[in-house]
Amino acid sequence: MQTTGPLAEMLARNGKNAATYQAPPALMKMVEQMRATNQGVVVLSCSDPRLNPYQILGLDATLKATMVRNAGGRVLDAIRTFAVLQTIGSPGTIVVMHHT
């Protein structure tokens, strides 16, 4: 089965990325650093594809942030995710960006 369209494009980009991929640090090592410095950040934003929270907030690979996206950027729908993240990493900052 041959893949075409957007999926084929994503798979091609993934192939290019895989050629130079370097594994990130172990999750627990990152968690320990975030807990020690209280620097963990979670961003909740709308899943609207016109909104790019990484670009809007100036986030890149050096600025560690967990991104949670849902319809309308609604907190109630993300409570369970926040509870798990609080248990794992204890984020110091939560940013909420509602629908654009």
pLDDT for res 21? 93
pLDDT per residue of the chain (100 residues) written in tens, 0 to 9: 567 899 999 999 999 999 999 988 888 887 787 777 777 888 999 999 998 899 999 987 667 788 999 988 888 888 898 888 887 777 778 889 887 6
The CATH-assigned architecture of domain 25-97 is 3-Layer(aba) Sandwich (3.40)
Q: What is the pLDDT of residue 100?
A: 62
pLDDT at site 41: 86
Own/partner contacts of 91-95, CB < 8 Å, gap of 24 or more, are 91/34, 91/40, 91/41, 91/42, 91/66, 92/34, 92/38, 92/39, 92/40, 92/41, 93/40, 93/41, 93/42, 94/41, 94/42, 94/43, 94/44, 95/41, 95/42, 95/43, 95/44, 95/57
| Threshold 0.75, pTM exceeds | no
